[in-house]
Amino acid sequence: MNSEKGRPARLIVLLPESLTENLEFAQKIHWMAARAQNDVLYLTLLDNPDNLLTAQRGIATMKAVTESNLIRAGSVTAPAAHWFEKLQEILRPGDTIVCHVEQVVKHGFMKTVAMPEYLAGILTAPVVTVEGFYFPQHAIIKGWISGLLFWLGALVILAGFTFLELQADTAFPGFAHKLVLGAILVIEFGAFWLWSQIVRR
């Protein structure tokens, strides 16, 4: 199937960040693309922009699994909050949108609507769905656990360095105290940064 100006039509796959390393899903998309004779463009929805590099590594592997002699696979990323604007930007006549049955869209205050239903009602492009790959509750639980781990670790770091600062107050007089205190503060900030990076992985 071809779109306008001879360019191949594509499957535009709305990919949650949590699935960027799911090779089973990539195999499913390869099968769908081969059946429809379409290329593939993954639109990855990033929950956290800081995870871009990690997500890109996973997407690169998924693209390799998706591609073949007859299928080309590409990728773009967008903040999850602005996914629809990015979709409108990349969508071409002849493209088909692929989304998950489990995906939802915020619609009004404290309301959601199923993404397939939302897309079908607002766009003319065909929408097909897949299910059994995306489990949003897992991502929510993981986010809560990561947040809890971060704050527990932060409290331990804060308590430990506060103790060191109190010891420095009595052990080092005068100018030496200022130097030691400055060094402790630098190491403390470094420890907070390192812990935040570990928790995000």
Q: How many domains does the chain have?
A: 2
pTM recorded for the entire structure: 0.68
For residues 47 and 170, give the distance between their C-alpha atoms in angstroms, rounded to a whole number. Answer: 46
Q: Where is the domain boundary, 99, 134, 169? A: 134
Residue 4 confidence (pLDDT): 55
Judge if 74 and 146 occupy the same domain. Answer: no
Residue 183 confidence (pLDDT): 85
Residue 93 confidence (pLDDT): 93
Contact criterion met (CB below 8 Å) for 112 and 105:
yes
Residue 113 confidence (pLDDT): 86
Judge if 170 and 130 occupy the same domain. Answer: no
CA distances from 93 to 3, 83, 128, 187 (A): 6, 19, 16, 55
Look at residue 2 and tell me whether its pLDDT is greater than 70: no
Q: Percent of the chain, pLDDT > 90? A: 46
- DSSP H or E run through 185: helix 174-200
Judge if 101 and 178 occupy the same domain. Answer: no
Tens of pLDDT, residues 102-134: 888 877 666 788 889 999 989 999 999 999 899
Residue 195 confidence (pLDDT): 79
Judge if 30 and 92 occupy the same domain. Answer: yes
Residues 6+ apart with CB under 8 A from 139: 16, 17, 18, 47
- In 3D, which of 193, 27, 12 has the Cα closest to residue 89? 12
Q: What are phi and psi of 3, to 5 degrees?
A: -95, -170
**Structure confidence at residue 99 as a pLDDT band (50, 70, 90):** very high
Which bin fits 54, alpha (ψ -120 to 50), beta or left (φ > 0)? alpha
Domain residues for 47?
Answer: 4-134
Residue 112 confidence (pLDDT): 80
Q: Where is the domain boundary, 134, 152, 187? A: 134
For residues 179 and 65, give the distance between their C-alpha atoms in angstroms, rounded to a whole number. Answer: 55
